[in-house]
Structure 1
């Protein structure tokens, strides 16, 4: 009697399992992942309810006591233990305590490349309760000066290799900002932080300095490019830092992993997900000053790397390297990042082995994060009814030519159907806030959409078009507005146009991104008109853009037009220009290409165009 019953039960369970796999194939993957997210959220809420403010810095300090001799950072062969970083950062804190007027809540700007001292200065200032503003190490001149002014720092700390960049703008830095450099040799008006560190104490700093007022208090500023032109300082709170640091753990990383960080620390991926993620795990990271495709796998083998962070371009460059024997001979099991194209994804796995790719999507300042924990090639994440309970977002219809959401007769936005591209928006609530940017409130307000589906609702506008398929996987489609991505960075078209427009022979400039085969993102292109009776000076255009713009923002192509087309609302027309691209076969206007060897723009001939299309000319 018992045996038939057990047989029937087993058959029933087997059928239900088959049915679940058929109808809800991703149910258990989604369930276990979201369970981890909920567990972490409950943990944070418990801290709040108990009145405990346990930050990423607190976690690091506890690890420095618990595992002082464990390697935290490996850099160019040198090992920095948790205790080493703790003591070095305390030295930084004591220097500013004894030789400056910095106090808790003050902002300090940090301009450094990837190096251990980036972390030492960041943590040292955090030990004083200061807010650290991470400056993009690629920006120069007026853009850099704008960033410094916009976050209103009391001090600026500069790495030795970037001291020349600061010297150019030193006379224009506002009074009241003390400039410190991690160098023995400094120009007049700059204080040598390196010299003072030699005699500074490494004793712990009084806890009264570092206790955060709340998890909603600002921890760092991270600069992000937007449609308004110059970079904006996104407010990153203690809570956001904690959430960012949980990413690697959520993807399945452990304390035994060795994480390879080649992404810049001035961005949220490198700093919050990378360094913060290592702290959350109590793991070790291998920090690289700059990504090198030729050295990548050698580094992975040398340091026994098990996890690395990527952007799409990084994997693309690795796939472009000449094939070698033993390319699958490594211990890497996991890669975490974003922007990986489907074709590169497949090639990467085929060539370098069974590495789990964990693609995610999230804006630095945004209130939404999508995660592809299922490994579906090309997808940035997946949604379901459980996910919707935690993160309220929608894809709405968008008019690309008018560059605005489409609203119906009642004035409400309309969700798109599955398979159609729509603008990704995320609802702003008490539990899912948007903290905006430092300084001008207009920048924050411009990122919000109001009265979307009903009166009074507010949504964060990601500026990205997405597509959701029938299985609820989401795929990145394109950027909207006046921003495009190139070399892993956001390029604000208005900033580029303003720089070119400073030339006395330029009448008007229209900047946009164009697709180049086999490249991630879009390359910059500028369509310009000349002032009456003025001639084009291609060498001056080249000198202007390389002097005032970071390398990734310099337009690769120029188009000279007699008249600039505008939309019905008198905005510059970009839509058709983007579609036409840079082909001399389609465009009768004069076209030019940026030639770094000749330090000028040169005519874009059919021969040169063919070389670019075949990948024979590097952009």
Structure 2
């Protein structure tokens, strides 16, 4: 008996040594997977619990909870000013009371916010949430036709603009007045007829709380914000983010280890999904302090991090590359940043960032504004956007399907169903539309909403969201972003819709047709815009007029950097513009016989492309 007991004890002790070794060898990520799944379950339980609360519980209610629990906790730090949760609550009350007292605002109406990064942006959003108004987050770089389009497509009745954007508002003022729009300027006075100053009214207003009855009409399906995204056709589309989606978004930072002790550095634009959802809504849940900056500055990034004791930073792929491109300093690793959270970083930049700036956990994720599925690289595998597992796939059913990039459509079998991609094979990410993973779509754009719906994917009658992104899953279940499909590319952290740019180019007097695409630049993230254009018969290509035209209609990141003149824009047999060969040929004047031009901001014109300019770009001498 004693020998049996000794044998059992020996086996047990050996197991304590062997099992961890075996797990590390054959399932090295098991423990991280377990922690992630546990986190996923915790988030779902909290979400369901909040969904059951009465009266209904929204993001604003979480903010009010934080204010009641930690009134003096720093919420926003901006330049030399600091605002506690209580300060933010009172200031938003003053804005809300000022608007409510105005005869030009009706509680609950849709309001467009046209401002850059500043605390007033956040206070105004909180104020409008208290008044029960959905808010359209306008890109403060847009002008003219794009501004009018973005304002109108969500049925906004009120525009609130920053003082420095007064000129942009005045450009479209006649059109806005025709529509009966109420316009407020965040300034103490305004002498332009049709625009009312708001700051003076806010200063006089009470900071008393707003009655809950003002937002009693809101349900989880009510739009909370409209965030604009460039799709495959037309001008920017307003993705509808309802209150249910925003409630889910509260978990974006807390599920990645961010706490109330963290200081989060927010330099991405607040009109952007990353800036608003991650940078603003995330800290409302965690109670973290937001270190807000007007815009990103690579040269001042680390100095700010040291000055404000930043512990968490956000990024898009370009941000980390810009940081790695700054001159090296002796104090590069002298900071308290422990976590970088974002998406779009290349593996080589990821490695360089860690090597240069120290032991920072980089959490890469995949998501889209309107999409219904996301992934998080909780393991830290360099280059991956996430890790897939059985539980995640059960909660949010998704798959990768074979995609024909030439035909620009999914590959289907003899029965008309899509074909799933094999492990290690690139495929189009599609995600099943369910009650738990809905797809709301775009405001007043059923055509584009329907284009994102993919039917009869794996069986008759099923319905999936078409992400428009090509991804790949490796043998270890890590998922990697490969490319975008269709007519969208990414530059300077922004999506550029090629047909939107083409439509604007063809508004110019001399251009008959335009084929817009993105070309890669060595050392740059994303793709820079290029257009192959055909000139109207009897007309001449006017470089300076085209420059003025694109500057008037397009934000800087969407302006074609290169223009290629062709006799005619080539199309396929089904009249789709040919892009593959054009993308492959790029902008090398040594390989292209057609006339080539490059946008030159200094001379305010498009100027001829030369071999010297081309070499300067590809060797990194000229920055785009």
TM-score of the pair, normalised by structure 1: 0.98
For residues 117-172 of structure 1, give each alpha carbon's deviation from its aligned partner in whole angstroms, at most 9, with x where no partner exists. Answer: 00011000100111011001111110110001101112110011212111111111
The answer on whether the counterparts of 1:103 and 1:129 sit within 8 Å (CA) in structure 2 is no
Structure 2: where are the runs of 5+ without partners? none
Deviation at 1:375, TM superposition (A): 0.4
- Separation of aligned partners in 1, 2:421 and 2:404: 12
How far 1:357 sits from its partner (Å)?
0.2
Query: Which sections of structure 1, spanning at least 5 residues, go unmatched?
Result: none
Cα distance in 2, alignment partners of residues 177 and 19 from structure 1: 67
Hey, what's the Cα distance between the residues in 1 that align with 2:594 and 2:194? 50
| Shift in Å, 1:115 | 0.3
Partner of 1:547: 552
For 1:586 and 1:571, how far apart are their aligned partners in 2?
24
Alignment-derived partner of residue 176 in structure 1: 180
State the 1:102 CA deviation: 3.9
| Cα contact 1:402–1:567 (8 A) shared by 2 | no
Q: Which of 77, 82, 94 is the aligned partner of 1:79?
A: 82
| Equivalence for 1:144 | 147
The 8 Å contact of residues 464 and 476 in structure 1, kept in 2 or not, is answered as yes
Say whether 1:16 aligns with 2:19: yes
Q: Distance in 1 between matches of 2:139 and 2:387?
A: 31
Inter-partner Cα distance in structure 2 for 1:23 and 1:216? 45
Residue 567 of structure 2 corresponds to: 562
CA distance in 2, matches of 1:137, 1:329: 34
- Residue 101 of structure 1, CA deviation: 5.3
Contact kept, 8 Å, 2:43 with 2:255, in 1: the verdict is: no
Distance 2:103 2:344 in 1: 42
Partner residue, 2:398: 393
**Is the Cα contact below 8 Å between 1:245 and 1:274 reproduced in 2?**
no
**1 CA distance for matches of 2:171 and 2:336?**
45
- What CA distance in whole angstroms lies between the structure 1 residues aligned with 2:19 and 2:217? 50
2:337 corresponds to 1:353: no
Give the Å deviation of 1:578: 1.0
Counterparts of 1:229 and 1:28, CA distance in 2: 46
For the structure 1 residues 460 and 122, does the alpha-carbon distance in structure 2 shift closer, same or farther, using more than 3 Å as the test? same
Structural mapping, 1:221-300, within 5 Å = 221-300=226-305
Matched, 1:484 2:493: no
How far did residue 472 of structure 1 move?
1.1
Deviation string 1:341-394 (CA, Å, 9 cap, x unpaired) is 111100000000000000001010110111101100011011021221122111
Pairing 1:155–2:158 present? yes
Q: Which moved more, 1:481-490 or 1:101-110?
A: 101-110
Residue by residue over 1:226-284, the C-alpha shift from the partner in whole angstroms, topping out at 9 and shown as x without a partner, is: 01221111111112112222111111111100000011111121111111111101110
Q: 1:38 to 1:343 in 2, by over 3 A?
A: same
Match of 2:463 in 1: 458
Give, in whole Å, the separation in 2 of the partners of 1:211 and 1:488.
Answer: 37
Aligned-partner Cα distance in 2 for 1:586–1:597: 27
Q: Are 1:311 and 2:310 matched, yes or no?
A: no
Task: Give 2:194's aligned residue.
Answer: 189
Deviates more, 1:117-126 or 1:438-447: 438-447
2:530 aligned with 1:522: no
Aligned residues between the structures:
619
Correspondence for 1:25: 28
The equivalent of 1:498 in structure 2 is 503
Partner of 1:6 in structure 2? 9
Alignment of 1:37-76 (within 5 A): 37-76=40-79
How far off is 1:212 after superposition? 6.1
Secondary structure at the aligned position of 1:402 is classed as: coil
Residue in 1 that maps onto 2:420: 415
- Residue aligned with 1:124, SS: helix
TM-score (norm 2): 0.97
